[in-house]
């Protein structure tokens, strides 16, 4: 497939750009043969489900349960709003992934509160940890809850709807001056996990910190992420889903689509737009337009994967 | 200046002597140093101190940080306004970083 416009799915470059200005407020993105195409602005997740039937799953990220600072004094409350939004979608997704920072300070009560709210979706949830989930003294609370049947600090893979999903941990053993870190043991496991897989198997890699370098000055990247991407290079459809940066960002490189999800707790500034990546205080009326969840749909045999970011409001 | 009688003068002298005797301890406290964490930055990023100095880090961000020098010292996770202190008893160069946000680095030079 080549060219900008062809067939019924074709959209003009102008249309794509027009849609990009709406990115994050409910745009249906599809990827065909590695080229991202916006199919137009949609009103809600319901419309998205109708537009792209087939296997779909949700991504939720950075719930930071326990956070109570000015940027959002009630992070548990906005997580609950996100869950209500998920429950309102008529077509039930297959499952959900949570890309880390479930809690703010790895306290038992924070994990318990998160579980109490997230379980109301009645969905299977596949977690990977964020750095905020590993800061209890013994680094055991996350692992006791979510690491059963996983390797190392909690990496694993599973298959669903013909897609191979791989959850990675890149928040452990970080080196001074560096970025996120996967480590040799996990990379060896990843290489082994992918060995023998048909190159036509769609791959979804998910981890907390972006596996691609978004903004190293703020630590937004993974030191050895490039090595993980080497292993998936030959596959026809690769989607990389991350959190950590509390904003929607997307990039396509060959057959690989990179995407980051919003937080349900607080927004963070665009790269370099503030003195630090810390929580960004916005007007109360604006907060919920900067928080949200993502829905990802996949159509078999079309190498098409659509990501819809839905804010809590707006 | 008010005039002092002899007895008051004696008291003043006594206080001055006491202060002088306490001086070494007071002085050591005055030499203790602070490092603030603001906007994901250790400030000052580099500190030169004398052996025996205590350095206290204070996290003034809305996000938790840590202070870690491999094999030397490691704070607990510092939430907003939490502090961590370490007394440097040996000369040397101590590189340290935040293990949650490793792009945050600092240095203490102890002479």
Judged against a pLDDT cut of 70, whether residue A43 lies above it is answered with no
Q: Does residue A246 belong to the interface with chain B, where contact is any CB pair within 8 Å? A: no
Vertex A312 angle, CA A289 and A246, to 5°: 65
Length of chain A: 314
pLDDT of residue B31: 79
CB A219 within 8 A of CB A176: no
CA distance B81 to B100: 17
Q: Read off the pLDDT of residues A115-128 as tens digits, 9 standing for 90 and up.
A: 999 999 999 999 99
From residue A184, give the alpha-carbon distance in Å to each of A173, A190, B27, B85, B100: 11, 10, 50, 34, 20
CA distance A267 to A281: 8
Structure tokens of A257? 């689509």
Q: Read off the pLDDT of residues A79-127 as tens digits, 9 standing for 90 and up.
A: 999 999 999 988 889 999 999 999 999 999 999 999 999 999 999 999 9
pLDDT of residue A69: 96
Q: Which CATH number applies to B32-110: 2.60.260.40, 2.60.40.420, 3.20.20.70, 3.40.50.1980?
A: 2.60.40.420
Q: Do the chains contact at A278 and B41, CB–CB below 8 Å?
A: no
Identity of the residue in A69, A106, A175 whose CB atom sits nearest the CB atom of B62: A69
Q: Does residue A278 belong to the interface with chain B, where contact is any CB pair within 8 Å? A: yes
Interface test with A, best of B75, B77, B82 (most A CBs within 10 A): B77
Q: Which residues of B are less than 8 Å from A175 in CB distance?
A: 102
The CATH H-level superfamily of A56-311 is: Metallo-dependent phosphatases (3.60.21.10)
Q: Which residues of A are less than 8 Å from B68 in CB distance?
A: 176
Judged against a pLDDT cut of 80, whether residue A42 lies above it is answered with no
For the segment A139-144, the average pLDDT, to the nearest whole number, is: 97
For the segment A139-155, the average pLDDT, to the nearest whole number, is: 96
For the segment A116-143, the average pLDDT, to the nearest whole number, is: 97
pLDDT of residue B29: 58
pLDDT of residue A298: 86
CA distance A166 to B46: 41
Handedness of CA A265, A76, A79, A144 (dihedral sign): positive
Per-residue pLDDT 10s for chain B (111 aa) are: 444 444 444 444 444 444 444 444 444 455 799 999 999 999 999 999 999 999 999 999 999 999 999 999 999 999 999 999 999 999 999 999 999 999 999 999 999
Which is more confidently placed, A35 or A249? A249
Question: What is the pTM assigned to this prediction?
Answer: 0.82
CB A192 within 8 A of CB A184: no
Q: Quick one: how far is CA A21 from the chain centroid?
A: 20
Identity of the residue in B66, B76, B102 whose CB atom sits nearest the CB atom of A219: B102
Structure tokens of A220? 């937004």
Identity of the residue in A105, A217, A275 whose CB atom sits nearest the CB atom of B39: A275
State the nearest Cα–Cα gap between A222 and chain B, in angstroms.
11
Q: Do the chains contact at B62 and A216, CB–CB below 8 Å?
A: no
Q: What is the mean pLDDT of chain A?
A: 85
Q: Does the ipTM surpass 0.85?
A: no
């Amino acid at each position: 497939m080549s060219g900008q416009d062809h067939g019924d799915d074709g959209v003009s470059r102008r249309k794509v750009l027009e849609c990009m200005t709406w990115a994050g407020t409910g745009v249906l993105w599809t990827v065909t043969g590695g080229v991202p195409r916006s199919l137009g602005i949609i009103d809600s997740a319901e419309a998205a489900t109708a537009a792209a039937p087939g296997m779909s799953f949700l991504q939720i990220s950075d719930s930071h349960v326990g956070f109570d600072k000015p940027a959002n004094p009630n992070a548990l409350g906005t997580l609950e709003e996100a869950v209500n939004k998920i429950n309102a979608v008529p077509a039930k997704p297959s499952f959900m992934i949570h890309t880390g920072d479930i809690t703010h300070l790895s306290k038992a009560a924070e994990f318990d509160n998160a579980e109490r709210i997230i379980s109301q979706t009645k969905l299977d949830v596949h977690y990977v940890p964020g750095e905020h989930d590993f800061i209890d003294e013994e680094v055991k609370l996350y692992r006791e809850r979510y690491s059963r049947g996983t390797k190392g600090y909690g990496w694993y893979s599973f298959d669903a709807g013909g897609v191979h999903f791989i959850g990675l941990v890149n928040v452990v053993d970080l080196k001074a001056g560096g970025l996120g870190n996967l480590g040799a043991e996990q990379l060896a496991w990843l290489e082994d996990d992918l060995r023998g897989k048909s190159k036509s198997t769609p791959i979804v890699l998910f981890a907390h910190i972006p596996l691609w370098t978004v903004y190293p000055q703020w630590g937004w990247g993974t030191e050895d992420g490039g090595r993980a991407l080497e292993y998936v290079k030959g596959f026809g459809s690769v989607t990389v889903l991350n959190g950590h940066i509390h904003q929607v960002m997307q990039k396509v490189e060959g057959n690989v689509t990179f995407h980051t999800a919003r937080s349900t707790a607080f927004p963070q500034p665009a790269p370099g737009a503030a003195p630090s990546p810390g929580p960004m205080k916005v007007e109360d009326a604006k907060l919920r337009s900067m928080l949200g969840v993502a829905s990802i749909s996949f159509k078999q045999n079309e190498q098409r994967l659509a990501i819809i970011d839905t804010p809590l409001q707006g | 200046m008010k005039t002092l009688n002899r007895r008051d003068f004696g008291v003043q002298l006594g206080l001055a002597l006491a202060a002088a005797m306490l001086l070494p301890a007071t002085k050591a406290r005055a030499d203790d140093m602070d490092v603030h964490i603001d906007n994901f930055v250790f400030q000052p990023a580099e500190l030169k101190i004398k052996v025996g100095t205590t350095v206290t880090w204070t996290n003034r961000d809305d996000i938790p940080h840590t202070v870690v020098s491999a094999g030397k010292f490691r704070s607990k996770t510092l939430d907003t306004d939490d502090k961590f202190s370490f007394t440097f008893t040996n000369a040397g160069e101590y590189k340290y970083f935040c293990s949650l946000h490793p792009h945050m680095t600092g240095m203490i030079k102890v002479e």
